[in-house]
Structure 1
Amino acid sequence: MIRAYNKKDKSKLIELLRQNTPDYFDTSEESDFENYLDNEIEDYFIYEEGTRIKGSGGINYFPEKKLARISWDMVDPNLQGKGIGKKLTQHRINLLNKNPNIELIIVRTSQLVYKFYEKMGFKLEKIEKDFWAKDYDLYQMQMKTKY
């Protein structure tokens, strides 16, 4: 089931981030994620089965630029490759495709995951070395919406 985030999910999401560190996130990113959950969240979704959070991912909006950014995606490392990330990403793409104020979807990821987004239809726009932390490069990708 995909549902909206609520504040009681925070500790489980921090644990999910830690499970993905250092394979996909640098330890320095934990405080950024906490700040995001406390102050920058707009739409954030939880993939849950029973009471177990198996994945999560968000959307931030920039209506003045007619774009949205997919943000802070993560899946339980023991469940990667089982379609959870794809379902969460497709859920957000579907929402954004229904929004007449959004024409472009951006995802900022790393060299470790960009191929996943490529398979989802995103096109590589730019690369910036050591952007997130040392050895965690920025791979910025984009996709046009249906509008």
Structure 2
Amino acid sequence: MILSRTYRPEDMAGCLALFDSNVPLFFDESEREGFVGFLNDQALRWPYQVIEREGRIVGCGGHAVDADGVSVVLCWGMVDNGLHGQGLGRVLTEARIAAARATPGVARVRLCTSQHTQGFYARFGFEAEKITPDGFAPGIDRWDMVLTLES
């Protein structure tokens, strides 16, 4: 059974295990400190979800309304590397897009991802706005992508 719920501070170890399972292809080790900072601060202020299967955290991700008030930014979404391709990322992404659509005044969803996952997000309608080679770390390009929401 899959359970989606709000992140709690005691979930940090499980979320860091997800991060670690995705190093070095999807995240660089140097990004871990930023994720820890996010979990200590932003994940408690903005909607951040964990997905559990059989009592184990298998996915996490959140969103935040950007300072411009018309964009939602997807934050730190990930699924256990051993569980890729099982639909967990789709469920997590669809839930975050639905939350963006339900937020008054929001017209678009933004995210930063890598060349390894940009195709996954393109299937939801996200389009590349900017590509920065090695933007996250050597060998991990940064893809800034946007999804325009229908009125």
Q: TM class, shorter-chain normalised? A: over 0.9
SS at structure 2 position matched to 1:99: coil
TM-superposed CA distance for 1:101, in Å, is 2.4
TM-superposed CA distance for 1:114, in Å, is 0.3
1:44-123 superposed matches below 5 A: 44-123=48-127
Aligned to 1:7: 9
Aligned to 1:144: 148
TM-score by length of 2: 0.92
Aligned to 2:28: 26
Write out per-residue CA displacement over residues 10-48 of structure 1, whole angstroms, 9 at most, x where no aligned residue. Answer: 011111101110121001010010011112221111111
1:146, 1:4 → 2: CA distance? 27
1:54, 1:92 → 2: CA distance? 16
Runs of 4+ in 1 over 6 A off after TM superposition: none
TM-score by length of 1: 0.95
1:63, 1:135 → 2: CA distance? 30
Determine if contact 1:86/1:120 at 8 Å carries over to the other structure: no
- Percent same amino acid among aligned pairs? 31
2:6, 2:20 → 1: CA distance? 21
2:119, 2:24 → 1: CA distance? 18
2:148, 2:5 → 1: CA distance? 25
SS at structure 1 position matched to 2:125: coil
TM-superposed CA distance for 1:121, in Å, is 1.4
Determine if contact 2:114/2:140 at 8 Å carries over to the other structure: yes
TM-superposed CA distance for 1:63, in Å, is 4.7
Determine if contact 2:69/2:105 at 8 Å carries over to the other structure: no
Determine if contact 2:71/2:107 at 8 Å carries over to the other structure: yes
Q: Tell me the number of residue pairs that the alignment of Structure 1 and Structure 2 aligns.
A: 147
TM-superposed CA distance for 1:134, in Å, is 1.2
2:16, 2:129 → 1: CA distance? 29
Write out per-residue CA displacement over residues 64-99 of structure 1, whole angstroms, 9 at most, x where no aligned residue. Answer: 341111111111111100100000000011111111
